[in-house]
Amino acid sequence: MKVIFKLVLVLFIFNFCACSSDDDSNDNNDDVSLEGIWTLSALSVESSFDFNNDGMASRNLFVETPCYVDDFINFRTDGSVNIVTALTSITIEITSPTEYGHVYQCLDGLDRETTWTRDGNTITVENGSTDLVGVISGNTMTVALEDTFQIEMYDGTDYTYPDEDVVLVYTKQ
């Protein structure tokens, strides 16, 4: 039985919800420029998977699939922001009554324009009725999203659909 999972579009709209990073040369992060292109360098979930079949399960979907290598956020000086991100379809493959695996497929995703504001180290991105708030420092943004990754699991008799947290890491170019 196949079930398709998509990383919810909302996940990537929330890409910049909670940001943090390190910049040893500058303790005052108000001086760090947000403007510019930030590329995705990690996308981690709570469970480990071996989508690339290299024998090593990882929580980092950026390592396990090539789907996200072109994802980025472009913060502009005029307060606008462009978010480009892929989606992934994940299909469950049952190999025995107690064993299963997941297979992924990269999909076209999101190319969205919206606005952002900054108050010190706090970044707010407009997202309809729910603004997204994050923190920035240095040239790395770490974004924590609660319960936005849902994937089907199978225990031999029952299917479950746990919601997992996601952590996205962006690096400024």
* Number of domains into which the chain is organized: 1
How many CB atoms are closer than 10 A to CB 154? Answer: 19
Closest CA to 34 of 163, 139, 169: 139
pLDDT tens digits for the chain (173 residues)?
333 333 333 333 334 333 444 444 444 555 668 899 999 999 999 988 888 889 999 999 989 999 999 999 999 999 999 989 898 888 778 787 777 778 888 998 889 899 988 888 778 778 776 667 667 878 888 777 788 888 877 777 788 888 889 888 888 98
pLDDT in tens, 70-89: 999 999 999 999 989 898 88
Local structure of residue 137 (DSSP, 8 states): B
Q: What are phi and psi of 12, to 5 degrees?
A: -85, -15
Domain that holds residue 80: 4-172
Residues in the chain: 173
Q: What contacts 104, CB < 8 A, 6 or more positions away?
A: 51, 64, 65, 67, 88, 89, 90, 91
